[in-house]
Structure 1
Amino acid sequence: MPTSVLVAYGTTNGSTAQIAEAVADVLRKEGLIADLLPARSVVDVTPYGAVVVGSGLYAGRWHRDARRFVSRHGRQLAERPLWFFSSGPLDASASERDIPPVRGVRRAVTRLDARGHVTFGGCLEAGAKGRIARSIVRNGKGGDFRNFPEIEEWAARIAAELLDEEKMD
């Protein structure tokens, strides 16, 4: 039976959810079972053979829902293949170079022995929730900097790794 993967995410305006959806879609296309859920709605991770957790970055921190998810399920996350992604830079920097995880995520990567972390460009457009977000857009600093081919390549590497491990079992 194919590995079942949970793709959980924390988001305010939905752009990180779209990244998580792209990740889940690739995992499914590669032959894995992938469930896509907001981090706040996940009750149990034990049914999953692997987990991908993503969050938008807000003032240098992950979304509260994603932070709470990692804290609440830490023991179970440490027992299975785990990957993290962040989304946030409102420029092309994430496509130009590797951006390390923010401090709290870096600690979680180490503590939970995650297999990797990547930072993708973010998206902040008209209609964004929050005073600061609206101000950023109003001042012309918003936009969509997500690179979906890059996101899909990253997800395909995760799928390949999990499928290779399935063959060895």
Structure 2
Amino acid sequence: MTDTVLVTYGTTNGSTAEIAESVAEVLRKAGLTVESLPARSAPGAARYDAVVVGGGLYAGRWHKDARRFVRRNRVLLADRPVWFFSSGPLDASAAERDIPPVRGVQRAMKRLGVRDHVTFGGCLVDGAKGWVAGMILRSGKGGDFRDFDAIEAWAQGVADALTPAREKRH
């Protein structure tokens, strides 16, 4: 098996997908083979050596596609290195302090032995789908709170954790 990493994500309006692609690009630059795919269409985890799962936060829960991917692949995920990220706060709080994972993500992390979790700021801009998104935007609470420097730094930590193991086998 090659050193292949899956970066998969659950997103409604695409901002979590952009975070996932940023993570995937950092891993590629580190010399890893990476596939970045939506969780709803990602294949099982069997063909990957490591997995990063991200989910947008909606009303205190991870996106349903991310939750379903983890549930469908729980046995395989427990046998490989796994990292989680969340995106969601529509304010600067994620840049100011560490935000712990929501309860369901915490439970999955414990069951699977997930190596790390981070919460990044979210993004909600005009044109977003959904009634709740529209309400949030009309109230003036939308915006882009993602910190791509922080995202890339976290992804580099994932790459650093994977690269030594890869080099030892070759």
Instruction: Give the TM-score taking structure 1 as reference length.
Output: 0.97
Paired residues for 1:85-96 under 5 Å = 85-96=85-96
1:102 match: 102
1:38 match: 38
> 2:7, 2:34 within 8 Å by CA — same for their partners in 1?
yes
Gaps of at least 5 residues in structure 1 are none
User: Following TM superposition, by how much is the alpha carbon of 1:166 offset from its aligned partner in structure 2, in angstroms?
Assistant: 1.9
1:115 match: 115
Over 4 Å off, 4+ runs: none
CA RMSD, Structure 1 to Structure 2 (Å):
1.0
Instruction: Give the TM-score taking structure 2 as reference length.
Output: 0.97
User: Following TM superposition, by how much is the alpha carbon of 1:82 offset from its aligned partner in structure 2, in angstroms?
Assistant: 0.1
Correspondence 1:139 to 2:139? yes
1:84 match: 84
User: Following TM superposition, by how much is the alpha carbon of 1:102 offset from its aligned partner in structure 2, in angstroms?
Assistant: 0.1
Gaps of at least 5 residues in structure 2 are none
Paired residues for 1:1-169 under 5 Å = 3-169=3-169
User: Aligned partners of 1:43 and 1:49: how far apart in 2?
Assistant: 13
User: Aligned partners of 1:147 and 1:33: how far apart in 2?
Assistant: 24
- Structure 2 residue identity aligned to 1:32: L
User: Following TM superposition, by how much is the alpha carbon of 1:168 offset from its aligned partner in structure 2, in angstroms?
Assistant: 3.4
1:21-47 C-alpha deviation (Å, 9 max, x unpaired): 000011001110110000010222111
User: Following TM superposition, by how much is the alpha carbon of 1:109 offset from its aligned partner in structure 2, in angstroms?
Assistant: 0.5
